[in-house]
Amino acid sequence: MNRREREAAIYQAAARVFRRKGLKRVRLQDVAEEAGIPRGALYYYVASKADLIWTVIETPLCHLLQQARNIVNSTANPETKLAQLIEHHLCNLITYHESWLLLQCEDLETLQQTLTINLEEVLQQYEACWQAVIEEGKQQKTFTTISDPERLASAYISLVQGVYCWGSLKGKQTPEAVAAWLTPLVLGNLQKTAMGVSASVNA
């Protein structure tokens, strides 16, 4: 196992322990035992518990937001941007699976006490990226069934999140495979073709 693989294994182990015991109760010894390495060896990869928390929780969120901003600022059309947002969100969920489980299980107040970022602000900024793409599509008349872009953005993110959670119970699928059938449903809903897509799926 090379250094990068070892680091990934340690971060996944940390996320599992944080989820089981709670962020405040976990010791570095707990993480070392979960990762199957001596505590002394753990310091070769991480400097402190705070460093672990930052990597396990903040890194996935910051990466998610930065990529979304890059997509919004690209020259692609709104349909392509939305497709990219969906696929990237799925990729992030799969890559940082343990971190997302921790985010969903841990108390929000406890999380915020341990983070250097404002979690609520990051999530709002991420939703704003989706909203910007939907509004751009509305202005270009690419998306026609829009009454409230803000609520639609939140709903579509929740849809992607829910599809991933449900799909993970049935077995692993690549983010590209999920995005391939999920994206037409979302675009169809925005372009008044959802019924047609649904009919073709059920045919």
Which residue matches tokens 């008044």?
192
Taking Cα atoms as reference points, which of 1, 2, 29, 25 lies closest to residue 13? 29
Average pLDDT over residues 42-47: 90
Look up the domain containing 185 and give its range: 50-202
SS (H, E, C) 28-52: HHHHHHHHCCCHHHHCCCCCCHHHH
**pLDDT for the residue numbered 196:** 41
pLDDT of 81 over the 70 cut: yes
pLDDT of 193 over the 70 cut: no
Q: Which residues 6+ apart lie within 8 Å of 159 measured at CB? A: 182, 186
Which of 46, 63, 79 is the endpoint of a domain?
46
Same domain assignment for residues 13 and 113:
no
**pLDDT for the residue numbered 165:** 83
User: What CATH code is carried by the domain that includes residue 28?
Assistant: 1.10.10.60
Average pLDDT over residues 123-135: 97
Same domain assignment for residues 5 and 96:
no
Phi, psi of 25 (to 5 degrees): -90, -15
Same domain assignment for residues 56 and 28:
no
Same domain assignment for residues 163 and 90:
yes
- Taking the whole predicted model, whether its pTM rises above 0.75 is answered as yes
Residue-wise DSSP of 109-124: HHHHHH-SS-HHHHHH
Asked if 134 and 149 touch (Cβ cutoff 8 Å), the reply is yes
Q: How far apart are CA 73 and CA 87, in angstroms?
A: 17
Distance in angstroms between the alpha carbons of the first and the last residue of the chain: 47
Same domain assignment for residues 17 and 95:
no
Helix (H) or strand (E) holding 94: helix 78-95
Same domain assignment for residues 54 and 12:
no
Same domain assignment for residues 62 and 156:
yes
Same domain assignment for residues 63 and 1:
no
Same domain assignment for residues 91 and 27:
no
Same domain assignment for residues 22 and 120:
no
Q: Would you say the C-alpha torsion 143, 146, 150, 155 has a positive or negative sign?
A: negative
Dig out the tokens for 50 from the structure.
């705070």
Same domain assignment for residues 30 and 58:
no
Same domain assignment for residues 34 and 60:
no
Q: How far apart are CA 52 and CA 7, in angstroms?
A: 10
**pLDDT for the residue numbered 170:** 66
Q: What percent of the chain has pLDDT over 90?
A: 58
User: What CATH code is carried by the domain that includes residue 170?
Assistant: 1.10.357.10
Orientation of helix 59-72 relative to helix 119-139, angle to 10°: 20
Number of domains in the chain: 2
